[in-house]
Amino acid sequence: MAAAAGRLPANKNIKWAVSLGLWNYFPQGPLTDIFDVMRDTGFIGMRITSFPSFLKRYPMSIPEIRREAEKRGVHIVTISFGGQTHIAAQQKKLVADAREAMTFLKQFDAKHLVVFPPGRLKPGEDVKSSFKTMCDTFNKIGEAAGEMGFRAGVHNHLDEMVEGPEEVHQCMAMTDPKLFAFFPDTAHLHLGGSNVPEMFRRYKDRIEFMDYKDARWTTPTEDWRHATGNVLPKDSKTAKFFASIYDLGDGDIDFPACHRVLKEKSFKGWICVDLDTARKGPRHSYERSGAYITSKLESIYA
């Protein structure tokens, strides 16, 4: 790891990205500071979160964002998109919202839309019917994406309707592979009870974008404190989640096995190293994750 620390990820067949969401947990600075971290650590793509409100948090015009990104050799590559896809009455609006998000992304030559499922339903609600509606909406979003030259896919997530392995399987079975892909998150797969490499292998033909995020269930021994000053009680579910997210190589996920699956399919595309926490700051965590990539993964497939 130490020997690899001086090298940046190769960004050849696999290109490496960050999620803007990490910076929500740190005191706000300009977007260009984040671009600088990306350039310096070799994570040259960004997944936008909280679209379109992030444009108020980081008040720059779209031409300014593109100009500053290009100046540093970094890219906007996708958006985290979500909504009440399980409600039939919302379907038309959500497809229109997805088109709006992809219209934004077109200005950065992006090609992917990461679609999050809705939150889990309360006891007594009609899960079966809602799940079917969600998958139907996913197909319609995927159809719109195809028309616009994009590929949309589901991003599995804890506390959402596609969480555990059976829900992933059900979603894959109920969506059209020609319309809708699988954009897995390794940490949420692992913490949700899935065998991550097995899931990659089973759906390798539908994986076109993904998050590499390391994790192991960890119970915090003290309150969790974000750099913004926000405090989460140590016995809360949210504190346990943040305590369970780690820099690449520090958790339990078998990334070399996942990487071998990507090599088998000659994957060419983006992997987002989406850190929900960075214990010593984003730059430090992305330097460490980059060292793991160059020392452990690039010899398998770069």
Q: What is the pLDDT of residue 6?
A: 67
Query: Would you say residue 300 has pLDDT above 90?
Result: yes
Q: What is the pLDDT of residues 89-110, one digit of tens each?
A: 999 999 999 999 999 999 999 9
> What is the mean predicted confidence (pLDDT) over 272-282?
96
Q: What is the pLDDT of residue 23?
A: 97
Return contacts of 171-178, CB within 8 angstroms, 24+ apart.
Answer: 171/117, 171/131, 171/134, 171/135, 171/138, 172/203, 172/206, 174/131, 174/132, 174/135, 175/135, 175/138, 175/139, 175/142, 176/139, 176/142, 177/205, 177/206
> What is the mean predicted confidence (pLDDT) over 233-237?
97
Q: What is the pLDDT of residues 29-81, one digit of tens each?
A: 999 999 999 999 999 999 999 999 999 999 999 999 999 999 999 999 999 99
> What is the mean predicted confidence (pLDDT) over 133-154?
98
Query: Would you say residue 3 has pLDDT above 50?
Result: no
Identity of the amino acid at 89: A
Query: Would you say residue 247 has pLDDT above 50?
Result: yes
The answer to whether 51 and 79 are in contact (CB under 8 A) is: yes
Alpha-carbon distance of 74 to 54, in angstroms, equals 18
Query: Would you say residue 1 has pLDDT above 50?
Result: no
Q: What is the DSSP letter of 297?
A: I
4 band by pLDDT with thresholds 50, 70 and 90: very low
Residue where the block lists tokens 């500071």 = 33
pTM of structure: 0.95
150 band by pLDDT with thresholds 50, 70 and 90: very high
Q: What is the pLDDT of residue 141?
A: 98
R_g over Cα of the chain: 18
Mean pLDDT of the residues in the chain: 96
Q: Which domains does the chain have, with CATH numbers?
A: 3-297 (3.20.20.150)
> What is the mean predicted confidence (pLDDT) over 265-273?
98
Q: What is the pLDDT of residue 2?
A: 44
The alpha carbon of residue 19 and the mean position of all alpha carbons in its chain are separated, in whole angstroms, by 7
Query: Would you say residue 210 has pLDDT above 60?
Result: yes
What's phi and psi for 115, nearest 5 deg? Answer: -110, 120
Q: What percent of the chain clears pLDDT 90, i.e. is strictly above it?
A: 97
Query: Would you say residue 252 has pLDDT above 80?
Result: yes
